[in-house]
Structure 1
């Protein structure tokens, strides 16, 4: 006789709930280790490719890390993984879903690297960089550049949700209903505007766009190969 599933299992499919658990565990571990002098975000976060601290695996590992000073950062991303990812995993299956999630994160990371490359063009010609409070060597300055968070993968999920469920409603700010297809277009345009106008502080807007672009390319390739249906759901 089939055993009744747990409430947690009914609320989210396996990959989604495992992603949420893993991210939360790593966030707590990051805080505990930081107090002991070990900075996981510095070790596993995404550094600029020309920095001494850059490692290739960081293109994946950075997506499982979040700001240790902000509970909102990890909770908002995990809420989005649950809200959009659950429906997508149920349609695509677990293996395709996790492949899509990771690839969107990599695409976001590569886009962030290109953004840094553009912003830092010519800096290698200088030995010292003035950061306002002190002078740093160029090598030390490049090591300070770091990106963490699952937002790139989340924006890929947002795109996929908008393509799969274009006429379903997303509640903006929990109160304003907006069809998913319009939500994706507006959010994408907003990220492009914020990125090109260099607003939003430390938020990696171009990385978000990179997650969307990577997700779009993969979905179009899968559709061309007939691996996923063009059908959308209301």
Structure 2
């Protein structure tokens, strides 16, 4: 598994990745708010609970629950701004920091914001459809970030990326290899016995949405798969 550090891919159409930075800032603020002010039951109010999402008769709500309760369909948006712990948050935001700017560059600010949210919604829906009877809350930006990863791979597979291999060894490799390995792991994991809290199907839903949407939402003239990029770039 690779931890991304930096990509050698300057912006071409925008001066700064305002939306990417804003999304990261919102996630960080929400995380500190949830850890300081909300208990687990209140956080679950913002999470996707498949059984509740597909059932008009909601699960019983404990009397001691504090905090707001959102309409279930709205959790398809709210869930992606909450995280289970600091490592969950940092992992998602690191991938978004490294790869989000170039996807924002290819789409433009407004379309990138809509793209990010759409990928998150797609990830949440796929997760819920796969296990509609689950009452386990789903939170995290992984589905949305997976969409960004897929879009980056469709746009820039030949760009060189600095990563940490095995969390310790710095390597300069192609985005196709680094992100291709990450995507392959997500696909393999959905076919293995599910152990632990990772919602692999949410990743798959985000990946599929990102790979499709970037083709239609990119700016006119933005090439796919680094078409026209010189050798050795």
Query: TM-score per shorter chain, which class?
Result: 0.7 to 0.9
Q: Secondary structure at the match of 2:214?
A: helix
Per residue, is there more helix in 1 or in 2? 1
Deviation at 1:182? 2.6
Deviation at 1:99? 1.0
Per-residue CA deviation, residues 138-159 of structure 1 (Å, 9 max, x unaligned), is xxxx54x111000111111111
- Determine the structure 1 residue equivalent to 2:161: 170
When residues 200 and 38 of structure 1 are mapped into structure 2, their CA distance, relative to the original with a 3 A threshold, is closer
Deviation at 1:183? 2.7
Unpaired runs of at least 5, structure 1:
1-10, 121-141
Q: Secondary structure at the match of 1:178?
A: strand
Unpaired runs of at least 5, structure 2:
1-14, 60-70
Pick aligned residue for 1:203 from 195, 198, 216: 198
When residues 202 and 12 of structure 1 are mapped into structure 2, their CA distance, relative to the original with a 3 A threshold, is farther
Pick aligned residue for 1:30 from 19, 30, 34: 34
- Determine the structure 2 residue equivalent to 1:19: 23
- Determine the structure 1 residue equivalent to 2:75: 58
Pick aligned residue for 2:124 from 109, 124, 148: 109
Q: Please give the TM-score of this superposition, normalised by the length of structure 2.
A: 0.75
Deviation at 1:164? 1.7
Q: Secondary structure at the match of 1:146?
A: coil
Alpha-carbon separation, structure 1, partners of 2:81 and 2:217: 26
Matched, 1:229 2:192: no
Q: Indicate conservation of the 8 Å contact 2:19/2:109, yes or no.
A: yes
Q: Secondary structure at the match of 1:176?
A: strand
**Aligned-pair Cα RMSD in Å:** 2.5
Q: Please give the TM-score of this superposition, normalised by the length of structure 1.
A: 0.74
Deviant stretches of 4+, over 2 Å: 37-41, 169-174, 182-186, 219-223, 226-234
Deviation at 1:17? 1.2
Alpha-carbon separation, structure 2, partners of 1:99 and 1:205: 22
Matched, 1:99 2:114: yes
Alpha-carbon separation, structure 2, partners of 1:199 and 1:172: 27
- Structure with larger Rg: 1
Deviation at 1:227? 4.6
Deviation at 1:163? 1.7
Counterparts of residues 44-83 of structure 1 (less than 5 Å): 44-48=46-50, 49-50=53-54, 52=58, 55-67=72-84, 70-83=85-98
Q: Indicate conservation of the 8 Å contact 2:107/2:214, yes or no.
A: no
